[in-house]
Structure 1
């Protein structure tokens, strides 16, 4: 019993270590103090369910290999670990008999050994918890956060409607699997088979998304890395500079044309003209240009109590 307690202590410590890693990762990549508690809990459970597979899978493999070794060498797994079973005829606990003594069994019990019943229950909890998060909680929360309604009911309705296509695809796959099994002889459609069909449909949809996203990522990620190289970025910058230079030349020509139009308006509309105030407003919006910046491009025009410097149209020199 002490040895069994040691095994469970290792198992519990592993679960706590995975939880600590999940919590640290969540703390590093999010703002726990500002985000909603529901978001924090859902994300922590989702990451914990994913990280814990990395910890549980080696335990399951070692336990299965140990059990298979005992089966091959005709050893008793139950007796070597002091597991008891109730005798239905006598109503008391009786030890399981062994075909070969534990001392002659060549199988070495792994230090992380956990009974298959514990792992089976644990796998079911992880699997169905991940199913609920993947198909219900996380998609609804994602759509709820991006919904534009102002009430909780309105946001929930919008989130459900936004996920109808997501659920409809799963229903289509489920119906295809159901029709296929219904057409097969010697197959009865019962609750257990419906559960298997649901698992098959979800796995099929998940693999489809996995292949689709991997197919995109295997092309896009190396391409983005290649495009971020210094040589490629330098060539892209040269191309952008040439394009910007052309746009700058066109904008400068439009600028000179506009200044020429304003200059002509100043010459035509004198200070006593009714529209003179509008011309003054236009002139106040024009940039101030000094003789140092635009040598040879200035004309002077005088209004009542102020002198305004105005550039002439001259493509031989540009303002800095």
Structure 2
């Protein structure tokens, strides 16, 4: 039993890793990769544990049906699968083997339910807010994600506390709390499995067939490249305009907006580049400090283009390269 349980978890982890590697987008953060892998692995492990549990229940009922007639239940109830524990401890008998198997399955269920509970209701919600926040600094992202989910966590804590109080007043034990946790975990896991299988069974064969068609794949890539390039240009122009506004605020932080200076400097520190050192390259005057809105926009767009060339092609621009680009 132990070897099949370990083999199932290992194979599920490998298959999930391969599926995520195929579906994951470029430059996806590793923490997102890890949480998605944990979510899918635990959800599929939940499904894999069901046949083992049913087999154990069937074996125990078969033994109880024939009572103490050992010669009959050994013949009618197949225990070879559960006797694999004897490879670890040869002194185990049939009853001890079933007891150890039951404890192993109970521990496996507890681990899967606990991980699904924490991952589905706490980690994934916090991570989604962390990814979607518009801050650049990690500390600001963590702070904003905590603020976004504080109300949700407080609501869950209040509801959980009320359920515990109701159980205590009604005289029930904490076993009902475990049932509640199982229900919540099942909700998360079953949704993940439904989405994974529902999307994968329909989308994966179609995408695999399309990838095998070279001409169709090339045509689709050409269309997507144009769309992504236009989207990137619009995003770069919008970001350049926002950076220009931050640049002007930073200049005014030492004069007319001195009272708001600390907050402005915090905002400037979150920018993805050092806005204080950005210069605009003029074909006649050479590098100079931007003064107008158009110069701000051109300066930051050129700086973003340099970052793109550096990260994509590992290409560093010189002063001559900047001057040639300014001529265009």
What range is the shorter-chain TM-score in? 0.3 to 0.5
**Higher relative contact order (CA closer than 8 Å, sequence separation 6+):** 2
Higher-Rg member (1/2): 1
Structure ranking higher in helix proportion: 2
Q: What's the TM-score, normalizing by structure 1?
A: 0.47
Q: What's the TM-score, normalizing by structure 2?
A: 0.46
